[in-house]
Amino acid sequence: MPNVNMQAYKVSEIVFNNKVNGKVQLKLSNKISHNVKYSSNGTCEAVMTVEAFDKEHKDVLYCKVTVNGVFTFTGETEKEFIHVETFKELFPFAKATVTTVSANAGVPPIIIKNIDIEKQEIYRFEMNNRDE
């Protein structure tokens, strides 16, 4: 059975801008990106970035969190499976960091909705080195 295990994670970037003045109704949106870089020795690094912002005025409220994780996997594990599993492992850390940062900044906590990654389309681009 394929196996993916997180060895370590770290929050590598936090950006938070809070220029909310008075009573303002915000229309929050978020964007999530997740990429995996593979090594030849059964390890990979996953990088997840979560951005939360006001749809109409990104400069009023903006939060960006980047979380990196190092994972091991068995040699026969498919990349799509690794991608899904690393997403599922990192997402709770990124989500909790966004909520904690916003709550401690004096605004109502930003809560990112859960995502069922297994029901999402996964886009993968293979870059091959060619001698031309």
User: Residue 108: what pLDDT?
Assistant: 84
User: Residue 35: what pLDDT?
Assistant: 95
Judged against a pLDDT cut of 90, whether residue 21 lies above it is answered with no
For residue 43, give the CATH number of its domain.
3.10.420.10
Residue 124, domain member (yes or no): no
**How many domains is the chain built from?**
1
Residue 40, domain member (yes or no): yes
Q: What is the pLDDT of residues 44-72, one digit of tens each?
A: 999 999 999 999 888 889 999 999 999 99
Judged against a pLDDT cut of 80, whether residue 128 lies above it is answered with no
Alpha helices in 1-132 (DSSP H): 79-104
Name 110's Cβ contacts closer than 8 Å, sequence gap at least 6: 28, 52, 63, 98, 99, 102
Judged against a pLDDT cut of 80, whether residue 36 lies above it is answered with yes
Instruction: Tell me the residue range of the domain where 48 lies.
Output: 4-112
Q: Which two tokens stand for residue 76?
A: 């026969």
Q: Which two tokens stand for residue 97?
A: 């960091």
From the number of C-beta atoms within 10 Å of its C-beta (0-12, 13-18, 19+), residue 106 rates as exposed
129 pLDDT band, cuts 50/70/90, is: very low
Q: What is the mean pLDDT of the chain?
A: 87
